[in-house]
Amino acid sequence: MDAQELCYLSVAELSRLIKRREISPVEVVRMHLARVETLEPLLNSFITLLPEKAMEEAKAAEQEIGSGRYRGPLHGVPIGLKDLFYVKGVRNTSGSKIFDHFIPDHDSTVAFKLREAGAILLGKLNLHPLAYGPTGENSDYGNMHNPWDLKCITGGSSGGSASAVASGQCALAMGTDTGGSIRIPGALCGLVGLKPTYGRVSRHGITVLSWSLDHAGLIARTVEDCALGMNTIAGYDPRDPSSAERSVPDFTQSLSEDIRGLRVGVPKEFFEAPVASEVEDAVRRAVELLSKLGATILEISWPMLHESKAISTTVQMAEATAYHSQLIKHQGSQLDPKVRLRLEAGLFISAVDYVQAQRARRLFYQQGCELFNRVDLLAGPTVPIPAFPIGTEKVLVGNAHLGVIEALTQYTRPFNLNGFPAITVPCGFSESGLPIGFQITGKPFDEARVLRAAFAYQQATAWHLRRPPIPK
Amino acid sequence: MEKRGKLDRESFRSVARLAGLEASDSHLEELYSYVEKLFPNFKVAGGMDLAEIEPLAILPLSKE
């Protein structure tokens, strides 16, 4: 097996080899670090690399596994964390030079759990500054580049997480998602991105953007890898006030059950919104395939979908501005210019506007629950267009010229607003060779069923096996 | 401050001052253009029929 093949093994494949001691974590980490060294000048996926620490951890993992103390499927597997998950003793920039020297004195719960599971941290991944933007452009640490076309955006805000996984620099990465920041880069880079239910994965030790909309989740190359990751990171955490006291299933257990009889709703509003024809075609084919696999497809209506943009904009901007209020006041001029504008704009949302938005949010949530009385899952596009060149301000989506934020987030934001679980899986490529994403969502805490449908789709297709045209 | 979901310059300046926003005139002008476009979004919920609806401060998902 050559180095590139090894770096593109899924977590599941890699862990089987590591468990059987057919490959050493030291060799695995060394090959990934070599790939990082080759590709970083092109992709700029990382903000902080930890090669020495990673090699030390790999040696420790090798010893442990050699002496029969295998910890589980993430043991010895190289991963990356978006640079807003605190890791004790490792700087945490949140994608802004303002925090260039900030070193947390404690771990985020997610980082702690991943380390306990034996995962090996290669470094902290680049992101849209303060996670406040969906493109993956960063004026402080440099733009992230899409491995499928280096001129194009990765999507954001977890752009480094997506470009690193898509290019085989690490097997699995963590991201956060406030308006689509896992699913957008997942879709634009041809990956699987899972935003679990709000409260399922702890937010403790993760830089806040919007308390009530932030979710931590996974970016991987396969659905199975997301399930393996969920088995490690999900669960109640008393240090996160919004953490859910819910039992956590084994997310891999029902993965390969068939999907016959599942009711999949396709809101007609998804295709009344602006969407590129090649995206619509790919997504409709994906829905058709779910039908061939035994699911029952139902066209449904989600009347409040249109209002969700304004409601989530108000909630997100008010909360982000409140969280960063001191930064705006004292270091505003040091912020990325576009992020600064977004943060300052939140000052013009009145308390009444915010409360009205939270009232409307309850209606939106209730309508979502009612939808799920009639269906088990919803399906549709993740992003209405493929990736576009870095620096683009407006994009043509179908027949509409939209601002990039509006375009990129139109299908993802509703599921931050209601907190329901959502996954993106690759479902095709544009004429120019760029990936297209298919979004499947479920009812609260039903990640297992979301993963099951996504797994069934992925097993029946080969989109996830294509590799971006970057150097070996 | 608001007429039919619009924000005029004078009200914008006044809110900026109250919020303690110190910035150059050119930056405030840029911010005004940005906020002016977003402002109608902030007013959408207030225009909905929300009788008997309480705010969703925390998503009601946390307990089994």
| CA R_g for chain A | 20
Q: Could you confirm whether A243 is annotated as catalytic?
A: no
Q: Which residues contact A183 (CB under 8 A, 6 or more apart)?
A: A177, A193, A195, A382, A383, A412, A422, A423, A424, A437, A439
Quote the CA–CA distance of A37 and A40 in Å, as a whole number.
6
Cis amide bond preceding A312, omega within 30: no
Q: Which residue of A has its CA nearest to B14?
A: A348
Q: Could you confirm whether A82 is annotated as catalytic?
A: yes
- Residue A302, CB-side half-sphere exposure with 13 Å CA sphere: 32
Q: What confidence tens digit (pLDDT) does each residue in A79-97 have?
A: 999 999 999 999 999 999 9
Bridge-partner residues for A378, per DSSP?
A265, A441
**Which residues of B fall within a CB distance of 8 Å from A419?**
59, 61
Q: Which residue of A has its CA nearest to B18?
A: A347
Distance from CA of A213 to the nearest CA of B (A): 9
Give yes or no for residue A76 having a pLDDT over 90.
yes
**pLDDT recorded at residue B22:** 87
Residue A314 tokens, joined:
């108000």
- Decide if A176 contacts A157 (C-beta within 8 A): yes
Which ranges of A148-276 does DSSP label H, i.e. alpha helix?
A: 159-166, 183-188, 223-233, 269-272
**pLDDT recorded at residue B1:** 44
Helix (H/G/I), strand (E/B), else coil: B57: coil
**Which residues of B fall within a CB distance of 8 Å from A333?**
23
Exposed/middle/buried for B53, CB within 10 Å: 0-12, 13-18, 19+?
Answer: middle
CB spacing of B54 vs A348 below 8 angstroms = no
Q: What confidence tens digit (pLDDT) does each residue in A113-151 have?
A: 999 999 999 999 999 999 999 999 999 999 999 999 999
Q: Could you confirm whether A163 is annotated as catalytic?
A: no
| Maximum Cα–Cα distance across chain B | 53
Mean pLDDT, chain A, as a whole number? 97
Assessment of whether the complete model's pTM goes beyond 0.95: yes
CB spacing of B59 vs A419 below 8 angstroms = yes
Distance from CA of A294 to the nearest CA of B (A): 30
Q: Which residue of B has its CA nearest to A211?
A: B58
Give me the percent of chain A exceeding a pLDDT of 70: 100
Question: Which of A15, A45, A94, A157 is flagged as catalytic?
Answer: A157
CB spacing of A347 vs B42 below 8 angstroms = no
Kind and range of the H or E run holding A38: helix A25-43
Q: What confidence tens digit (pLDDT) does each residue in B1-58 have?
A: 455 578 999 999 999 999 999 899 999 999 999 999 999 999 999 999 999 999 987 6
Quote the CA–CA distance of A412 and B53 in Å, as a whole number.
25
Interface of B with A (CB under 8 A): 7, 12, 15-16, 19-21, 23, 30-31, 34-35, 38-46, 48, 50, 53-64
